[in-house]
Amino acid sequence: MKITEIAKFLNGEIFNIKEDEDITSAKSIYSATKGSITFLSDKKLLGQLKEIKASAILVSQPIEDIDITQIVVKNPAVAFYKLIELLYPEEENKEYISPTAKIGNNVKIGKNCYISDYVVIEDNVEIGDNVKIYPFCFVGKNTKILNDVILYPNVTIYKDTFIGNRVIIHSGAVIAGDGFGYYQEDGKHKKIKHIGKVIIEDDVEIGANTTIDRALTDETIIKSGTKIDNLVMIGHNCKIGENSILVSQVGIAGSCNIGKNVILAGQVGVADHINIGDNVIVTAKSGVGTDLPPNNVYGSGIPAIEWKKWKKILVYIYKLNELFKK
Amino acid sequence: MKITEIAKFLNGEIFNIKEDEDITSAKSIYSATKGSITFLSDKKLLGQLKEIKASAILVSQPIEDIDITQIVVKNPAVAFYKLIELLYPEEENKEYISPTAKIGNNVKIGKNCYISDYVVIEDNVEIGDNVKIYPFCFVGKNTKILNDVILYPNVTIYKDTFIGNRVIIHSGAVIAGDGFGYYQEDGKHKKIKHIGKVIIEDDVEIGANTTIDRALTDETIIKSGTKIDNLVMIGHNCKIGENSILVSQVGIAGSCNIGKNVILAGQVGVADHINIGDNVIVTAKSGVGTDLPPNNVYGSGIPAIEWKKWKKILVYIYKLNELFKK
Amino acid sequence: MKITEIAKFLNGEIFNIKEDEDITSAKSIYSATKGSITFLSDKKLLGQLKEIKASAILVSQPIEDIDITQIVVKNPAVAFYKLIELLYPEEENKEYISPTAKIGNNVKIGKNCYISDYVVIEDNVEIGDNVKIYPFCFVGKNTKILNDVILYPNVTIYKDTFIGNRVIIHSGAVIAGDGFGYYQEDGKHKKIKHIGKVIIEDDVEIGANTTIDRALTDETIIKSGTKIDNLVMIGHNCKIGENSILVSQVGIAGSCNIGKNVILAGQVGVADHINIGDNVIVTAKSGVGTDLPPNNVYGSGIPAIEWKKWKKILVYIYKLNELFKK
């Protein structure tokens, strides 16, 4: 694709054009070479880099100092992401059901699906159109999967699950395993049978090795547009609102109610039965133990400082009550 | 099942009966409809809910205010859990070994086992009665599995493992992978070969994507009745006592000795070679760095408060030593 | 193997020999029995143990008090690890490609490889010599795997990945899943397509259920000799230097630059775009939010103390700003 064509596609203006080269790859500003296009995320980088070898660069305003063909766009990063989709188109699904896929009784599979080798689909499953299921995925009975879903290798979906349109589930994720619940009898933990289900709405993405447990009797729900990173844990009966972001290693205990447009940063933990309002941001590693009202930022991150310095402070923290009594 | 039959089964007393309806489902108080039974966990809910649509409700004492058939029982929640088991009976195992299951040499399989498609069982494995193994499970050589065990899809058990009666292992769990141990030589990390094993005793449940590492030369042991949630890490050579509870994302480093009836709440970390006494509770997100005597509650949870407020406090924390010197 | 032969192999001196017994197993000092050899890690253990039943013990200097055959070596622990390798030799790979392994087009497989049942290898993959791939592993297209690699069961490698010599990947690990990145459009999160790759260099070990995400356009790199424990998360575009150690449940957000010989202890979290210098140690549970200069120890571990005591201190922490204003 020519630089001029890219500019047209991005609705951008060309500045300082050297030659209308063919662009064959998208690269970062550090690794770009002749034939590749890149973008400038931060003007400070220009001072740090000796040279930029890209054939073209996306910028938010023309830069006189650099002798590269520039395409001026409103948001260079977003323009770059859109360009990637154009330059690296997804392969079309070829309609195929592997003879090694084990398909149960009364399973419906829509048009143009790709069911790969060594997939197991149990009885009474319904699968929509354009669904792609990679090897070693297990889809439990009575599960319903809508259109344009991708299950990467080694995904496990226990029975009775609902998966909405355009959901992507990455490898090793486990959907609808039993909730972690026991009652006491004769000094022992007796398992509480979980007969509820998991509902994953449209446009949700679920990261690798994330686990989402089934509800006791009702539903664990991930609402549409929410994106979940790797190694996240979502307990039984949780409701996660629309368009929220759960970063890696977040853990949410049972029966929480998380609002929409919420961001829980990495390794945040949320205790059970907590309500978090809409548009809340919780900073990394926070432990949320009380309800959080909407439209605010909460956190208890302790940024690591030099250990020697922290040790001295720690001495005072651990005798704070004595010190103040004096 | 009629309401009167349920009352009889639960040893409860009927109050305010409207009609001896058929109960066909168990639901939460929020989602119950005609034909379903629910339970009252907390009297406060009555004020919050406009109406309860259940045909019957389990309560701990008769409630005059609500116009629903009530069954009065000692512990409504536990009664509800027992009722679920009655209303939703587990399907019986049908004896079956899939022709696609790869069974090694000298493997013994007991009565009434269900070995599903695409299971791999290596040489010299012994499996008891009523064991259910779902697709994509791997059972390494010399492993012994007792009776009534369930392995959900995609479970990996490395060689030499022992799995007791009625153990349940959820999808993606990895049992008996190598312990994380290296020695230094020529400035490099050399792998320490782990020849020990993992022993999972009776009635243990292991959550999805949890990992339990094999011991160096002896055994990593999970003692009977202990319940482990999803995404937990248990290091090499640990001993976890009877009836303990390890909540999601707990991490226990090597050679720890955890007592019985211990509860480690979510995201707790325990350093290596730590001893935790019986009946200890450690609150969520705590970092345990010293031995903990029995029969006590420990913790260092920092509950998230409004970020603006916390920032101000943080300023003082980071200059505590200077402030006190003044 | 005779005790005298072991002493010779370890370059050790025999002290107090009782009988030149055959040694058939290596055990810990607690579980050693007749016929086994053990080692003394700490002289204090001698006071705690009633008796040591081993036939021989590795020590750093002769100990008069114990009536066991001793082999005196410089470093008993390391000597013990080397002895394990001698006493428990690894089985040789038998060259084998299972007929149930699905091998794509244009796949090259080197000498003496063992490709087990139910492995899926996509098109254009190159595999070196002496590679062992266990069941239910998925190797995505265009991936290159060098020599002496082991993939344990249920490993997923997405397309375009590079795996160096002698790399070991444990069960459930997911390599090169999409990075967690979205841009905003019309109030929704739009997926950023990740076309980069993951490079795992020589002698890296990756623990069970660990996830390493692919880069946006360039590479996520784990450099040679680095060892990664279970349930670790490494975000897109990270570079992890040589010979570093990432302990269980560490989470590293995108675009971090971690130096060589770094140790991140258990459950450490690192924010995105952070630089950590060479030879840095970060203590368990720390949250790293700023760049860390090399050759130092950092941390913010809050060791759990008795909950009653901590609660009192917490009261003061949460009103520190008010207290100091007074």
pLDDT band at A304 (very low <50, low <70, confident <90, very high): low
Shortest distance, CA A43 to any CA of chain B (angstroms): 30
Shortest distance, CA B209 to any CA of chain A (angstroms): 7
C213 pLDDT above the threshold of 60: yes
Burial degree of A108 (CB within 10 A; 0-12, 13-18, 19+): exposed
Residues of C in contact with A247 (CB under 8 A): 180, 253
Q: Which chains form contacts with chain B, at 3 or more CB pairs under 8 Å?
A: A, C
Pairing of β A144-145 and β A126-127: parallel
- State how far the alpha carbon of A189 is from the alpha carbons of A235, B74, B82, B169, B261, in Å: 18, 18, 13, 16, 10
Preferred mutation among B31, B58, B154, B245 to probe A, highest tally of A CBs within 10 A: B154
Rounded CA separation B266/A272 (Å): 10
- Please state the φ and ψ torsions of residue B206, each to the nearest 5 degrees: -120, 125
What integer pLDDT is reported at residue A302 of this predicted model? 62
Q: What percent of chain C has pLDDT over 70?
A: 98
**Cβ–Cβ below 8 Å for A304 and C292:** yes
Which residues share a beta bridge with A163? A145, A200
Pairing of β A275-276 and β B281-282: unpaired
B181 pLDDT above the threshold of 70: yes
pLDDT in tens, B190-215: 999 999 999 999 999 999 999 999 99
Domain assignments of chain B as residue spans, ordered by start: 3-87, 155-298
pLDDT band at A148 (very low <50, low <70, confident <90, very high): very high
pLDDT band at A300 (very low <50, low <70, confident <90, very high): low
Classify domain A155-298 at the CATH superfamily level: Hexapeptide repeat proteins (2.160.10.10)
**Cβ–Cβ below 8 Å for A266 and C269:** yes
C108 pLDDT above the threshold of 80: yes
CA-nearest residue of chain A to B224?
A188
Residues of A in contact with C317 (CB under 8 A): 317, 320
From A170, A189, A194, A236, the catalytic residue = A236
Where helices occur in chain C by DSSP H, the ranges are 3-10, 45-48, 76-87, 307-317, 320-325
A326 pLDDT above the threshold of 80: no
Nearest to C33 by CA among C46, C47, C52: C52
Rounded CA separation B220/A57 (Å): 56
Preferred mutation among B122, B138, B279, B312 to probe C, highest tally of C CBs within 10 A: B138
Q: What percent of chain A has pLDDT over 70?
A: 98
Select, from the ranges A54-58, A321-325, C300-304, the one with the highest average predicted confidence (pLDDT): A54-58
- State how far the alpha carbon of B143 is from the alpha carbons of A274, B113, B127, C207, in Å: 42, 16, 8, 21
CB-hemisphere CA count at 13 Å for C181?
23
With contact defined as beta carbons under 8 Å apart, do A297 and A262 qualify?
A: no
pLDDT band at B247 (very low <50, low <70, confident <90, very high): very high
C212 pLDDT above the threshold of 90: yes
Q: Which helix (H) or strand (E) segment is B82 a member of?
A: helix B76-87
Quickly count: other Cβ atoms within 10 Å of residue A128's Cβ: 20
B273 pLDDT above the threshold of 90: yes
Shortest distance, CA A143 to any CA of chain B (angstroms): 15
CATH number for the domain running over C3-87: 3.40.1390.10
Nearest to B298 by CA among C308, C205, C57, C3: C308
From C170, C189, C236, C273, the catalytic residue = C236
pLDDT band at C301 (very low <50, low <70, confident <90, very high): low
Burial degree of C104 (CB within 10 A; 0-12, 13-18, 19+): middle
- State how far the alpha carbon of A56 is from the alpha carbons of A17, A22, A73, B3, B254, in Å: 9, 10, 13, 75, 52
B32 pLDDT above the threshold of 90: yes
Q: Which two tokens stand for residue B171?
A: 């999808």
- Chain A and chain C share a number of CB contacts under 8 A equal to 185
Place of tokens 């009575």: A142
With contact defined as beta carbons under 8 Å apart, do A142 and A128 qualify?
A: no
Rounded CA separation C140/B240 (Å): 38
What integer pLDDT is reported at residue B101 of this predicted model? 98
What integer pLDDT is reported at residue A310 of this predicted model? 82
Cβ-based neighbours of B30, under 8 Å, separated by 6 or more: A218, B49
Shortest distance, CA C46 to any CA of chain A (angstroms): 34
Nearest to C210 by CA among C243, C241, C172: C172
Q: For residue B78, give the nearest of A120, A183, A316 by CB distance.
A: A183
Shortest distance, CA C232 to any CA of chain B (angstroms): 10
Rounded CA separation B4/A64 (Å): 86
pLDDT band at A53 (very low <50, low <70, confident <90, very high): very high
Q: Which two tokens stand for residue C245?
A: 């150690």
Preferred mutation among B198, B211, B316, B324 to probe C, highest tally of C CBs within 10 A: B211
B20 pLDDT above the threshold of 60: yes
Which residues share a beta bridge with B99? none
- Chain A and chain B share a number of CB contacts under 8 A equal to 186
Rg, C-alpha atoms of chain B: 25
pLDDT band at B18 (very low <50, low <70, confident <90, very high): confident
Rounded CA separation C137/A136 (Å): 9
Place of tokens 């949780």: A238
Mapping DSSP to helix (H, G, I), strand (E, B) and coil, where does residue B198 land? Answer: strand
- Burial letters B254-292, b for 16+ CB under 10 A, else e: bbbbbbbbbbbbbbbbbbbebbbbbbbbbbbbbbbbeeb
Residues of C in contact with B324 (CB under 8 A): none
CA-based angle B300:B274:A317, to the nearest 5?
Answer: 30
Residues of B in contact with C317 (CB under 8 A): 313, 317
CA-based angle A44:A50:A56, to the nearest 5?
Answer: 80
pLDDT in tens, C120-178: 999 999 999 999 999 999 999 999 999 999 999 999 999 999 999 999 999 999 999 99
A41 pLDDT above the threshold of 70: yes
Helices (H) and strands (E) in chain C, counts: 5, 38
What integer pLDDT is reported at residue B304 of this predicted model? 61
Burial degree of B108 (CB within 10 A; 0-12, 13-18, 19+): exposed
Q: What is the average pLDDT value for chain B, to the nearest integer?
A: 94
Q: Is the dihedral of CA C126, C130, C136, C137 positive or negative?
A: negative
What integer pLDDT is reported at residue A227 of this predicted model? 98
Residues of B in contact with C203 (CB under 8 A): 188
With contact defined as beta carbons under 8 Å apart, do A109 and A98 qualify?
A: no
Residues of B in contact with A298 (CB under 8 A): 304-307, 310
Q: What is the mean pLDDT of residues A25-36?
A: 95
Catalytic residues of B: 236
Q: What is the mean pLDDT of residues A107-113?
A: 98
Rounded CA separation A143/A166 (Å): 16
CA-nearest residue of chain A to B318?
A313
**Cβ–Cβ below 8 Å for A136 and B134:** no
CA-based angle A174:A180:A184, to the nearest 5?
Answer: 160
Cβ-based neighbours of A221, under 8 Å, separated by 6 or more: A198, A199, A201, A238, A239, A240
The one-letter code for the residue type at C169 is: I
CA dihedral A114, A117, A122, A123 (to 10 degrees): 60
Q: Which two tokens stand for residue C250?
A: 């560490």
Q: Which helix (H) or strand (E) segment is A316 a member of?
A: helix A307-317
Burial degree of C110 (CB within 10 A; 0-12, 13-18, 19+): middle
**Out of A252-261, A279-288, A301-310, least confident range:** A301-310
Which residues share a beta bridge with C15? C70
**Cβ–Cβ below 8 Å for B207 and A316:** no
Q: For residue C304, give the nearest of B287, B316, B320 by CB distance.
A: B287
Nearest to A93 by CA among A145, A139, A118, A129: A129
Q: For residue B269, give the nearest of C118, C207, C267 by CB distance.
A: C267
Rounded CA separation B261/B257 (Å): 13
Mapping DSSP to helix (H, G, I), strand (E, B) and coil, where does residue C248 land? Answer: coil
Residues of B in contact with C170 (CB under 8 A): 174, 177-178
Pairing of β C156-157 and β C138-139: parallel
Pairing of β B182-185 and β B188-191: antiparallel
**Cβ–Cβ below 8 Å for A231 and C233:** yes
**Cβ–Cβ below 8 Å for C286 and A304:** yes
Quickly count: other Cβ atoms within 10 Å of residue C129's Cβ: 15
Rounded CA separation A59/A40 (Å): 6
CA dihedral B311, A269, C305, B247 (to 10 degrees): 180
pLDDT band at B326 (very low <50, low <70, confident <90, very high): confident
- State how far the alpha carbon of B216 is from the alpha carbons of B34, B220, C89, in Å: 58, 9, 15
Q: Which chains form contacts with chain A, at 3 or more CB pairs under 8 Å?
A: B, C
With contact defined as beta carbons under 8 Å apart, do C58 and C71 qualify?
A: yes
Q: What is the mean pLDDT of residues B100-111?
A: 98
Q: At what angle do helices C76-87 and C3-10 cross, to 10 degrees?
A: 120
B301 pLDDT above the threshold of 60: no
**Cβ–Cβ below 8 Å for B267 and A271:** no
Query: B155-298: same fold as B3-87?
Result: no
Rg, C-alpha atoms of chain C: 25
Q: For residue A269, give the nearest of B27, B208, B284 by CB distance.
A: B284
**Cβ–Cβ below 8 Å for B187 and C243:** yes
Shortest distance, CA A155 to any CA of chain C (angstroms): 10
Rounded CA separation B231/B245 (Å): 14
